[in-house]
Amino acid sequence: MHNKLGPADFIVFLIYFVIVSTYGIWIYRRKKKKLTDTHDFFLAEGSLTWWAIGASLIASNISAEQFIGMSGNGFSVGIAISAYEWIAAIALIIVAVFFMPVYLKNKIFTMPQFLKMRYNETVSLIMTFFWLLLYVLVNITSIMYLGALAINNLTGGNNLHPIIICLSVFAIIITLGGMKVIGYTDVIQVLVLIIGGLATTYIALTHVSESFGTGGHALSGFHELIKAAPDHFHMIFAKPDANTSQEDTNKYLILPGVAMYFAGQWVVNLNYWGCNQYITQRALGANLQTARTGILFAALLKLMMPMIVMLPGIAAFVLYKHGGLQTEMSLGGKFNPDNAYSSVLGFLPNGFKGLSIAALTAAIVASLAGKANSISTIFTLDLYKKYLHKEANEKQMVWVGRIAILAAMFFSVAFTWNDLLGISRVGGFTYIQKYTGYISPGIFAMFIFGMFWKRTTGSAAVVGLITGVLVAVIFNDFAPQFFGHDTLLYTAYKTQKEVNGVMVDTWEVPFLISMGWSFFFTALSMIVVSLAGPKINPKAFALDKSMFRLKPSTSLMIILVFLILIGLYVRFW
């Protein structure tokens, strides 16, 4: 088993690069006259089809942290990590049915614009700066670093810096063409991502079957995984007790059983899919039916993502337990789960490694392009046009948007170059959660109350945001120490963390439980403050039942998603 690339791998990857670049240039030239229009450049207004919207949502969502991180969680936790993907499908249904009518009826183009229309200028300006900093310093930087590191590991080389440059240049090529180019090239990116990912999963399962002498078929390999690692095929973890091993306790800290379905899992997904410029931007330029169909198409694609990014991790676990993986993938005699995906790639024949690396590159570049376009949109429409140059014409704003893209990528490369932000020290997933998890409950509360409770005030939004951050910090960092390990609100569990190179015992509240309580207290504070104001806020959105009516085709797609989800949970509960 090795990760050395052959000529066929380079040829496959080159074909992928040429196809995506050529198609992007063709789309750009075809629509060049319209790209002086800001709505067309930032939103591809009216030109993205439902399948382009759905594909673009998935391409933007799946990146290195999924391929590497979720595969690693598949190795250590198992199929339960699929909850993030499968609950996301329900979140997408909620966004399609309830959120999109509000956005489109009120002609919302950016998330800060929503906050200004519904609350006030102060709330909007605070969140504008927050989102810009978050996208540059957390999202793009972490995606670029994790992506470059993953590709570098997969190619078995020492070329991190050249890979960083190549990824950023590739993303810039796509992003400068505007949302239309991003949306349609994302269709190819998703095809490559799915084909390459499924090829990797198929060969991994085939190798498992061959290793166990069951005929070398993917289906028999899947059955061998279930037999060899039955503990990796349960969605719900039991609450730890005095007899629970540390390994199982650590799993519960990541995915706290049934409790997470009443807590932070919904905050994570609904905030990400419904209140995030990076995601909603794909659908904001379409009509309601097209947007809904595209979002529901993304929900269906979401259901299959664990096959691509999680199953290879379980395959790596089973092979490792039976001595089938190379020892250099281990750290201190113990296998590093983050190497699960790259270890499986070692079994791929020439040509297929190139396809898998193309799939990973597609996921990374699509995410980078989407984030950069969101930065460009927010900066141009919510800062430049409103505060710096109110008389700017359409052409000027498009060029400012392009300059913002270049600036965002430049700063991201600078911070990534020598890992100035310390992403490698804490891990990609932890880094992202550290800077987004604390504020997600407050953002989600601002949006959900702003849409559907007419009494919510601007003061309540500010109080809620502050409350959410404070409560999240208390639960995550101080609660076990100050209030004890077992209270009415939570149970903390003993684990270990690395501090200055030394492993020390500590107590943690499951992250998703903390996030659930953070949202609860945020919502409570917003309700209390809003009750002191007028019964109907003058800035409240007008809603009517007709906005939420569904066409039969939409209802059928929703039913199909739920039927598949029910089948998956019944099988793997």
How many alpha carbons lie under 13 Å from residue 91 in its C-beta half-sphere?
25
Residue 290 has a pLDDT of 92
DSSP SS3 for 335: strand
Residue 331 has a pLDDT of 47
- Residue 552 CB neighbours (<10 A): 7
H/E stretch holding 502: strand 502-508
Residue 46 has a pLDDT of 59
Residue 519 has a pLDDT of 92
Q: What is the pLDDT along the chain (573 residues), one digit of tens a residue?
A: 455 677 888 888 888 888 887 877 777 777 655 545 566 666 655 567 888 888 888 877 777 677 777 888 888 888 888 888 899 999 999 999 999 999 999 988 888 889 999 998 888 888 888 888 888 888 888 888 878 877 887 776 677 888 888 888 888 887 777 767 777 777 777 787 788 788 888 888 888 888 887 777 888 888 888 888 888 888 888 888 888 888 888 888 888 888 888 888 888 889 989 988 878 877 887 889 999 999 999 999 999 888 888 888 898 888 888 876 754 444 445 677 777 787 787 777 777 778 878 877 887 888 888 888 888 888 888 888 888 888 888 788 888 888 998 998 999 888 888 877 777 665 565 667 667 777 888 899 999 999 999 999 999 999 998 898 899 888 888 888 888 888 888 888 888 776 656 667 788 888 888 888 999 999 999 999 999 988 888 888 888 888 899 999 999 999 999 999 999 999 888
Report whether 372 contacts 60 (CB < 8 A): no
- Measure the CA–CA gap between 181 and 48, rounded to whole angstroms: 10
Q: In the chain, what are the domains?
A: 7-427 (1.20.1730.10), 437-542 (no CATH)
Helix axes 458-473, 511-531, angle to 10 degrees: 150
Can you list the pairs that 318-323 forms with residues at least 24 positions away whose Cβ atoms lie under 8 Å? 318/208, 318/224, 318/225, 318/228, 318/229, 319/207, 319/208, 319/211, 319/343, 319/344, 320/75, 321/228, 321/229, 322/211, 322/212, 322/228
Residue 433 has a pLDDT of 65
Pair of tokens at residue 14: 């080159």
- Residue 501 CB neighbours (<10 A): 5
Residue 328 has a pLDDT of 46
Q: Using CB atoms within 10 A of its CB, is residue 24 exposed (0-12), middle (13-18) or buried (19+)?
A: buried
Distances in Å between the alpha carbon of 114 and those of 104, 118, 125, 468, 547? Answer: 11, 6, 11, 20, 18
One-letter-per-residue 3-state SS of 298-338: HHHHHHHHHHHHCHHHHHHHHHHHCCCCCHHHEECCEECHH
Pair of tokens at residue 263: 């807590």
DSSP E strands, 290-431: 330-331, 334-335
Pair of tokens at residue 170: 């590739």
- Measure the CA–CA gap between 357 and 193, rounded to whole angstroms: 9
Helix axes 264-274, 511-531, angle to 10 degrees: 70
User: Which residues on neighbouring strands pair with residue 506, listed in sequence order?
Assistant: 495
Torsion of CA 35, 38, 39, 42, to 10 degrees: 80
